[in-house]
Amino acid sequence: MEPHEQPDRATRTLSDVIRIDAAIALVVGGLIHLQLYFVEGYRDIDKIGPSFLANVVALLVVAGAIVLRGDLLLVRVAAVAVSVGTIVAFALTRTDDGFLDFRETGWNPRPQTAIAMVAEIVVIVLVATSFLPRLAWRRGPTLGTPVAAATLAVLAIATVGLGAVWAGDQPEDVVAGGAVAVSIEGFAFNDVADGDNVVNVSVGDTVTWTNADGPTHNVVGVPVFVSEDLATGGVFEHTFTEAGEFAYICGIHPQMSATVVVE
């Protein structure tokens, strides 16, 4: 297209729709992290909790900026940067060193991780189209000021409303009975009796683990005991028949560790 040519009405509308979709994808990514923070218990993790909130704020601010001034290069670069940063952080948490002292495995938590990753990739692809001359985003608010204002209002209401609902939707404390009960809560293994992550039992005692967290966890004390993945309320128990110290972790979140001491 020559510099003096103007895109036709259909092309401008398509460009506006792409711009709105990019903003929506950013909001979806932000809402996923907000839900993980409040409902799934990620706010209890040092460093990761605050980083989730920072990510939510960044995604929502950039989404609003795209609606209002997506024509600015700085705004589009910021959109790509925050999406790429989210993907990189996800990848780092799957490495041995983790990210901010936090590690996770696979696509956990499901399905939030997959949805968030798709949303971030969609943002990158849609923003990339804005660099095509024919689909360049128009100056000022997309689809005009009234539509832009309405879009921002809907996104803000959805974010505040869902955040308020999720903030009050906490997993109930569910702890099964047993000789010794361990509650998996706040991304930690806690002896129900004293809150310690070291459990002292006698030979022949049974230890019962109950997942009181939102995310799925498991109990891995290879080769002595290994549980299946435990959803919220899930229970695993093991009877210790010999003395010794048995260290174990959550196989999904390896930074979670504890010990059973059998005397």
Summarised one tens digit per residue, pLDDT across range 139-168 is: 877 666 777 778 778 878 878 887 778 776
136 and 211 housed in the same domain? no
20 and 140 housed in the same domain? yes
22 and 45 housed in the same domain? yes
Which residue, of 167, 193, 215, is where some domain finishes? 167
What residues pair up with 199 in beta bridges, in sequence order? 260
What residues pair up with 207 in beta bridges, in sequence order? 180, 238
Q: Is the pLDDT of residue 2 over 50?
A: no
163-184: pLDDT as tens digits = 778 776 655 544 444 468 999 9
Band of residue 5 on the pLDDT scale cut at 50, 70, 90: low
Q: Is the pLDDT of residue 256 over 70?
A: yes
pLDDT of residue 177: 43
205-219: pLDDT as tens digits = 999 999 999 899 999
Which residue, of 104, 133, 167, is where some domain finishes? 167
Q: pTM for the whole thing?
A: 0.79
**Where are the strands (E) in the chain, listed by range?**
180-184, 189-191, 198-201, 206-211, 220-221, 225-226, 235-239, 244-249, 257-262
Would you call 194 exposed, middle or buried from its count of C-beta atoms within 10 A (0-12, 13-18, 19+)?
exposed
Q: Report the mean per-residue pLDDT for the chain.
A: 87
32-90: pLDDT as tens digits = 999 999 888 898 888 999 999 999 999 999 999 998 899 999 999 999 999 999 999 99
75 and 150 housed in the same domain? yes
Whose CA is closest to 27, among 58, 49, 52?
58
In a domain, 173, yes or no: no
Domain count, the chain: 2
pLDDT of residue 1: 46
162 and 188 housed in the same domain? no
In a domain, 2, yes or no: no
pLDDT of residue 139: 83
Which residue, of 113, 134, 167, is where some domain finishes? 167
- Alpha-carbon distances of 246 from 59, 75, 177, 200, 252, rounded to whole Å: 43, 52, 21, 10, 18
In a domain, 99, yes or no: yes
pLDDT of residue 235: 95
Domain limits for position 160 = 9-167
19 and 110 housed in the same domain? yes
Could you tell me if 130 and 76 are in contact, meaning their C-beta atoms sit under 8 angstroms apart? yes
Q: Mention every residue, 6+ apart, whose C-beta is less than 8 A from residue 107.
A: 113, 114
137 and 219 housed in the same domain? no
pLDDT of residue 73: 95
Does residue 185 or residue 160 have the better pLDDT?
185
120 and 213 housed in the same domain? no
In a domain, 122, yes or no: yes
- Alpha-carbon distances of 155 from 9, 100, 116, rounded to whole Å: 26, 30, 17
Whose CA is closest to 234, among 219, 223, 255, 253?
219
In whole angstroms, give the CA distance from residue 77 to residue 123.
Answer: 11
Does residue 20 or residue 156 have the better pLDDT?
20
